[in-house]
Amino acid sequence: MWNLKYLRLMLFACSSSFFLFAQAESTDTLNLVVGAQQVYVHAAPVKRVAIGSPDIVGMTMLTSHNILLTGKQAGTTEIAIWESEKAALPAKRIKVAVSVSTALEKQRLQFSKTIKLLPAGNQVAIAGEVESLEEHALARQAIDKSATVPMDATVSSFDNQVQIDIKVVEVSRKNMMRAGFFLGKNRGNATFALGSPGSLGGATFDDGGLNGGFSLNSSSGFLPNASAFNFLAGNASRGLLGALSILENNGFAYTLAEPSLTAISGQSASFLAGGEFPIPIQSGAGGLGAVTIRYKEYGVRLMLTPTVLDTNRIFLKVSPEVSEIDFSNAVQSGGVAVPGLRVRRTDTSVSLGDGESFVISGLVSRNTLQNVDKFPGLGNLPVIGAFFRSTRFDLEDKELLMIVTPHLIRPIARNAEMPALPGGNLHEYSPSFSDLFFQTGTKPDTGIPVTGFSR
């Protein structure tokens, strides 16, 4: 015998579908899933039935005791039942939810042990920890295409904040050699001069040519190269002067910029350490209008967008730029000399692991210049031909590297000891004159002279 006080299930086949019979008089709530059917069995004959929201639950009277309920969409409604023509019995609540235990469960996330599918009103939700963005994308694709767009309640198991360190290194090496010669004689009516280009400016008659004498003119003082090392020899009584200019120059320059910026995964960040210089712009035809000022930025600029794929892969779009004012390329605008800019810029995307480094750009350039100015014929003579020519040789090598290194980071814990800040060692530093002049004060841990810079 079936006891009507408990839930009674009966299964029967009808037109290749199945129905679930249930009697739940001991409860006030009936649970359905979308697309499923359930037969509610009432103990007494039913005279009349009413559904609060037919869009949520469909109802069909099978017999005087059996009511077929069909879940249409997720939601909650009530069903009222009359056993007589008098007042209805207390209404029963019906809850309809999305099922994730059948078709979705069969195809769900065979590749993941942490992501679960859960009902969420008229939708489904994915929840759990994801170990990579690829796993998260596959989890969303694994849901039935006919289902509503899922709610995403997943959390990542890896850090999402990235610190990107950029090193911009520029090395420049220059070699230069120059040599020039001047020989001149000026006495009475005899005048003779031989020199490199630029060392001799011309000759003029003494006293307007009345005495028949000449004077040699030179803006450089008869020096082939005024900025070089010069050797002079002469005899004033005989009017002889000889000059030899020789210069060899070796130069080395090392420039390092290390911008660093922190950003959350998927978000862009930028900063500029430098300044702005004004550019006057004159409007109107013929330059007769008002002059407005536009500012141009320069310095060390960094723009980046990191995307953390998993615990050991970071996709990074990075655009570092280093620029400096170059007055050698200045132009005139509005009556003001506007300088140019020397720019080193890179815009690229790379994929790296936590703490790994990539050379994202590099440039090696060499400029070689050799110039010989000589007296025709005599300049080709061996040995003595050196006195009839001026030689210049310039060699310049440049190498530029940009290196990027991302790190997954976490914020400094509350109440944790903060690291030393730049200049903190000089906050209460009061050196004596000898300490300041001879830099005798040193850091006790490294022995480096006390300065305000980070080491």
Q: What's residue 243's pLDDT?
A: 87
Across 316-337, b (16+ Cβ under 10 Å) vs e yields bebbbbbbebeeeeeeeeeeee
Instruction: Give the start-to-end residue ranges of the domains of the chain.
Output: 28-99, 117-157
Alpha-helical regions (H) of 254-294: none
Q: Which residues of the chain have pLDDT under 70?
A: 1-27, 98-113, 119-124, 142-150, 188-189, 206-213, 284-289, 334, 425-426, 429, 436, 439-455
CA distance 181 to 415: 74
8 Å CB contact between 180 and 245: yes
Q: What is the pLDDT of residues 308-352, one digit of tens each?
A: 888 888 999 989 888 989 888 888 776 778 888 988 888 999 999
Q: Rounded to 5 degrees, what are φ and ψ at 352?
A: -135, 165
Q: What's residue 306's pLDDT?
A: 92
pTM over 0.75: no
Task: Give just the sign of the alpha carbon dihedral 88, 91, 96, 101.
Answer: negative
**CATH dotted code for 28-99:** 2.60.40.1380
Give the strand pairing for 37-41 and 17-22: parallel
Q: Which residues contact 109 (CB under 8 A, 6 or more apart)?
A: 115, 116, 117, 138, 139, 142
Q: What is the pLDDT of residues 257-275, one digit of tens each?
A: 888 889 998 899 998 888 9
CA distance 109 to 344: 48
8 Å CB contact between 26 and 5: yes
Q: What's residue 148's pLDDT?
A: 52
Provide the phi-psi class of 441: left if phi over 0, else alpha when psi is between -120 and 50, else beta: beta
Task: Report the SS3 class of residue 403.
Answer: strand
Q: Which two tokens stand for residue 18?
A: 């199945």
CB-based contacts of 249-252 (< 8 A; 24+ apart in sequence):
249/174, 249/175, 249/176, 249/177, 250/173, 250/174, 250/175, 250/176, 251/172, 251/173, 251/174, 251/175, 251/176, 252/171, 252/172, 252/173, 252/174
Q: What's residue 144's pLDDT?
A: 55
Tokens 């953390």 map to which residue?
308
Q: What's residue 119's pLDDT?
A: 66
CA distance 341 to 297: 10
